[in-house]
Amino acid sequence: MTNILAANADSIRQAAAILRRGGLVAFPTETVYGLGADAQNESAVRAMFAAKGRPADHPVIMHLADATQVDEFAAEVPDVARTLAAAFWPGPMTLVFRRKRNVSPLVTGGLDTVGIRVPAHPIAHSLLREFGGPIVAPSANRFGRVSCTSALHVADELGGRADLILDGGDCPIGLESTIVDVSSGQPSILRPGAVTAEDVAGVLGSRPTGRIASAPRVSGSLPSHYAPRARVEIVAIDQLQQRTSDLLAEGRKVAVLTQTPAEVNARVHVLTLPQKLEDLAHNLYEMLRSVDQKGCDVALVTLPPEEGLGVAIGDRLRRAAGPRSSDRSESV
Ligand code: TXA
Ligand code: MG
């Protein structure tokens, strides 16, 4: 059984004690909920991979209470990384460094680099302080599925697989952190997020590169990720009505997610995406989950403008729509 406790000083103490004895604790961050384990306890890290159903070669992010701890785990902290950390930590940004040898290859999926983040969420921060060491935490969902932005989502995904869920309400941002690789001199964005390429350019004076072919594996960059059970299709706004009718004619149960819903068939489950990109990001995963709850087979989505936070929203929706392997199932 997984206990769910409202996050407060007492439950945070309990959570730290669970981590110390090798257990798994899900906790809120400003991006999404994480499934935490003691980064320096290999059997705890293994249990965390097993609970998620995550392949061993996919690295996890190490969370720290304080940016000054980075030098304990990063072999080299280039100036650009110090600048980015000063500007965006604590906050929704992960930096990828060359790792020191004290970082277990289990954490890094065998890579020579380690992803590190200092979260801003007060509950995540208190837990890290109370625990006193690094916590590895992937998003608290089963591998390949939609990340969790509420304690209830975590219970749906990982109930029985975590020892405790700290309930801290909805995650303010609702999309995973921006990942910036600073391990090779030239900063490069591996995963877009609430810290945008423009934000990064604003402090560095030059735009980071996009993902490069030789970049290390990022599971969030697999073709299908962040996906509900329903098939997701990206459609142009002027094709929405036709595609909806075609699918209805095939007998499909259809959901439509768009910022500009036109009159649609009463049989369609319509989810109006908020106009403000911050609100859209905040609600997106809840909406994708509701598509499954309504029993829809297909979700038709129109993309918001891909600028600013819209880049990260577009990225997640494209991945939700990405090709799935034929044997894709909850057992991945
Ligand atoms: O906002 C977030 O980043 C959330 C919260 C809980 O912190 N965490 C999260 O973790 O999204 P996860 O494991 O679902 O996604 C982390 C991504 C993965 O795609 C992983 O491949 C990538 O970070 N990553 C971790 N370490 C890396 C490394 N050394 N090099 C390249 N990518 C790395
Ligand atoms: Mg994830």
Report the pLDDT value the prediction gives residue 328, as an integer from 0 to 100: 42
**Both tokens assigned to 35:** 């499934």
Q: Is the pLDDT reported for residue 319 higher than 90?
A: yes
- Please name which ligand lies nearest the alpha carbon of 145: 2
Span 261-310, pLDDT tens digits? 876 678 899 999 999 999 999 999 999 999 999 999 999 999 999 999 99
Q: Among residues 186, 190, 185, which one has the least CA distance to residue 59? A: 190
Report the pLDDT value the prediction gives residue 197, as an integer from 0 to 100: 95
Percent of the chain clearing pLDDT 90 (strictly above): 86
The beta strand positions in the chain, using DSSP E, are: 3-6, 25-27, 34-38, 62-63, 93-98, 113-117, 135-136, 164-167, 178-181, 188-191, 231-234, 254-258, 269-272, 298-301
Which of the residue ranges 15-19, 170-174, 241-245 would you say has the lowest mean pLDDT? 241-245
Cβ of 110: how many Cβ atoms within 10 Å?
12
Q: How far is the CA of 60 from the centre of ligand 1 (A)?
A: 5
Q: How far is the CA of 319 from the centre of ligand 2 (A)?
A: 12
Ligand 1 and 59: CB distance under 6 A: yes
Q: Is the pLDDT reported for residue 205 higher than 50?
A: yes
Atom of ligand 1 minimally distant from the CA of 99: 29
Q: How far is the CA of 286 from the centre of ligand 1 (A)?
A: 20
- Please name which ligand lies nearest the alpha carbon of 27: 1
Report the pLDDT value the prediction gives residue 329, as an integer from 0 to 100: 39
Report the pLDDT value the prediction gives residue 221, as an integer from 0 to 100: 59
Question: Nearest residue CA, atom 22 of ligand 1?
Answer: 218
Span 117-164, pLDDT tens digits? 999 999 999 999 999 999 999 999 999 899 999 999 999 999 999 999
Report the pLDDT value the prediction gives residue 72, as an integer from 0 to 100: 98
Please say whether the beta carbons of 311 and 201 come within 8 A.
Answer: no
Report the pLDDT value the prediction gives residue 31, as an integer from 0 to 100: 98
Span 175-203, pLDDT tens digits? 999 999 999 978 999 999 999 999 999 99
Angle (CA) 313-207-147 rounded to 5° is 25
